Amino acid sequence: MKLIIFPMAFILMIASTSHAQHEQESVMKPIRQLFEAMQKGDSALLHQTFTKTAALVRVGNDKNGKPFIKQESSISGFLNSVGTPHQEQWNEVIWDEKIEIDGNLAQVWAKYAFYLGKKFNHCGVDAFHLFKGEDGQWRIFHLADTGQKEGCQIPKKIQDQFN
């Protein structure tokens, strides 16, 4: 009996791990698409990554050190800014992603660095909340970030991409 139980448990464990990895990849797909759209200046591609009621929020400290939270009125302003031609390519790179999934809700917390062309602009943390709709696709319904120009600990392999 033990000879049957252990192999079956091992097979179930492998299958469960494989499904979890696939679901994490599915959650990351719209996030990677978001950064691709920013890089290409493609608002149509960007639009596909968000729900219709998505919210964008910046959290930080103003120049006097006073904490603030700034919410964009709608996703349309972000879509317009991405879709407007830029002199410099927008490059945002993330690392140390932490992904949590429960049913149709997922969250991703990741450190990021933002470059205008090859020039460093700022860094911080991105906090994404995603919803899995009836079509089985994950979309971002809330994105909050922080941003600073100093004190960034960007991995060397990312820095090397922009040198």
Residue 136 included in any domain? yes
Residue 50 included in any domain? yes
The SS3 call for residue 36 is helix
Give the range among 4-8, 81-85, 152-156 with minimum mean pLDDT: 4-8
Q: Rounded CA gap, 114 and 112, in Å? A: 7
Q: What is the CATH number of the domain that holds 70?
A: 3.10.450.50
Mean pLDDT, rounded, of the chain: 90
Q: Residue 86's pLDDT is what? A: 87
Stretch 42-51: mean pLDDT, rounded?
A: 95
Q: Name 71's bridge partners.
A: 57
Return the H-helix or E-strand segment holding 144: strand 138-145
Residue 11 included in any domain? no
Q: Name 39's bridge partners.
A: none
Range of the domain at 31: 27-161
Q: Does the pLDDT of residue 138 top 50, yes or no?
A: yes
Residue 134 included in any domain? yes
Looking at the chain, the whole-number percentage of residues with pLDDT higher than 70 is 88
The SS3 call for residue 108 is strand
The SS3 call for residue 32 is helix
Q: Residue 163's pLDDT is what? A: 87
- pLDDT tens per residue across span 75-123: 888 999 898 888 999 999 999 999 999 999 999 999 999 999 999 999 9
User: For the chain, how many structural domains are there in total?
Assistant: 1
**CA terminus-to-terminus distance, the chain:** 60
Q: Residue 13's pLDDT is what? A: 46
Identity of residue 142: H
Q: What confidence category does residue 19 fall into, taking pLDDT thresholds of 50, 70 and 90?
A: low
Q: Residue 20's pLDDT is what? A: 76
Q: What confidence category does residue 58 fall into, taking pLDDT thresholds of 50, 70 and 90?
A: very high
Residue 12 included in any domain? no
Q: Residue 16's pLDDT is what? A: 47
Residue 120 included in any domain? yes
In the sheet with 50-61, reading across from the earlier edge strand, the strands are 67-71, 50-61, 138-145, 119-132, 105-116, 90-102
Residue 103 included in any domain? yes
Residue 19 included in any domain? no
Residue with the bigger pLDDT between 85 and 28: it is 28
Q: What are phi and psi for residue 86, nearest 5 degrees? A: -120, 155
Q: Residue 12's pLDDT is what? A: 44
